[in-house]
Amino acid sequence: MGRKYFGTDGIRGRTNAGVMTATTAMKVGQAAGTYFQRGDHRHRVVIGKDTRLSGYMLENAMTAGFTSVGMDVVLVGPMPTPAVALLTREMRADVGVMISASHNPYEDNGIKLFGPDGFKLSDEDELAIEALIDQELALAASEDVGRARRIEDARGRYIHAVKASLPHNVRLDGLRIVVDCANGAAYHVAPSALWELGAEVIAIGVEPNGKNINAGVGSTHLDALKTKVREVRADIGIALDGDADRLIVVDERSQTVDGDQIMALIGSRMADLGALRGGGVVATVMSNLGLERFLAGRGLELVRTAVGDRNVLEHMREHGYNVGGEQSGHMILIDHATTGDGTIAALQVLAALVASGKPASETLHLFDPVPQLLKNVRFAGGKPLEAESVKAVIAEAEAELAGKGRLVIRPSGTEPVIRVMAEGDDARQVADVVERICDAVRRAA
């Protein structure tokens, strides 16, 4: 069935337009509060947010929604998404809420929900809540209206948990680190955690004003980080996104280290330490073939899922893996966090750097990515992938790449776009294959 509110990662949209309004936020609070009031204990929700201007509006609206159906609210202010997941579980809350649109510009915002175990909700839970949003729900009696309180030590609790992900004997003394917090949710906690572990920290993207989140900084805009790494001659640069669940790294030469290289590093190091479960790493269909070949050379498997960190996490939980992620920088280390956590992943990278005693440029680039090209084809309507002419061109391309590369073609889940990705050892062949398929889709559309 189609969904009116929830997408692939919670509810997201442009503020004060469509679904992302104060009215909707209040209704989501009422619906989620009603759904999660199970048992006879006093019910509680943890609400966090990133640094967007609209966060104040949506936080207050959701507080009104939850308290109106009798649920107590704990407000933690600007905090990373994984911190909200952690605090939801540690505070024995019934539900957690993160108000954020992740790496999107400030004009957008979103609502992510976590269950009492700190994991994102299942499809079944989201559908059940969505069914309640537009209903007239029973409000609490006057004497049962919920209370709201703000806790002041949320940052300290999260910093402690982040540091606990490393052995006590691991210190970052002697490392000069530039950390880019995207003017987002980790602007305080990430630099603090690194400093407490002994690093010399140069922080950028730590002056949020409500409108500058992800604006020219963060994991999707690396130029500022690369410039600062060169300027201060740092050993490494760390880039987070607006809600700090993504990580992209820059070495001392300002070369980018994406999620695939990070997974290769963390996965292989954990295998060496006997700590890797599942016999490999879980990633998506978008991860580079070079990662798959590197892991295979180490006797490890790369398991691929559909795009989306939630799909990665579901496979990890179902099949017993403890390392997974996406090329875009979502790193899921399930031994330490219930969702992607850029700061915890960064500490694992830094621990590997310290253990190697080598520069980041030698430590973090473990394989050569094969040429990979992604193009989007926008279409007006219909189902171009079902056209026989398109199927024929795709079959021809798959035969050409057999044994030498991969082809991934998928419709976008949010817009009328077909995404065409190919990769292989021959860059010219990859470009030719992608262009031929795109032309066929355009003609069919």
Contact between 157 and 87 (Cβ < 8 Å): yes
Residue 412 annotated in active site: no
Q: Report the half-sphere exposure of 384 (CA within 13 A, side-chain side).
A: 26
Determine the 3-state secondary structure of 422 from DSSP: strand
How far is C-alpha 334 from the geometric centre of its chain's CA atoms? 14
Contact between 242 and 256 (Cβ < 8 Å): no
Q: What is the dihedral of CA 132, 137, 141, 144, to 10 degrees?
A: 10
Nearest residue to 422 (alpha-carbon basis) of 401, 399, 445: 401
Which residues lie below 8 Å from residue 422, measured CB to CB, with a gap of 6+? 372, 373, 397, 401, 405, 406, 407, 408, 430, 433, 434, 437
Contact between 98 and 49 (Cβ < 8 Å): yes
Task: List alpha helices for 16-74, DSSP H.
Answer: 22-35, 55-68
Catalytic entry in 102, 192, 268, 328: 102
Contact between 354 and 170 (Cβ < 8 Å): yes
Determine the 3-state secondary structure of 60 from DSSP: helix
Give the C-alpha separation, 25 to 234, whole Å.
43
Q: What is the residue type of 203? A: A
Q: Sheet harboring 148-150: ordered strands across?
A: 11-14, 108-114, 95-99, 44-49, 72-78, 148-150
Q: Which residues are catalytic?
A: 102
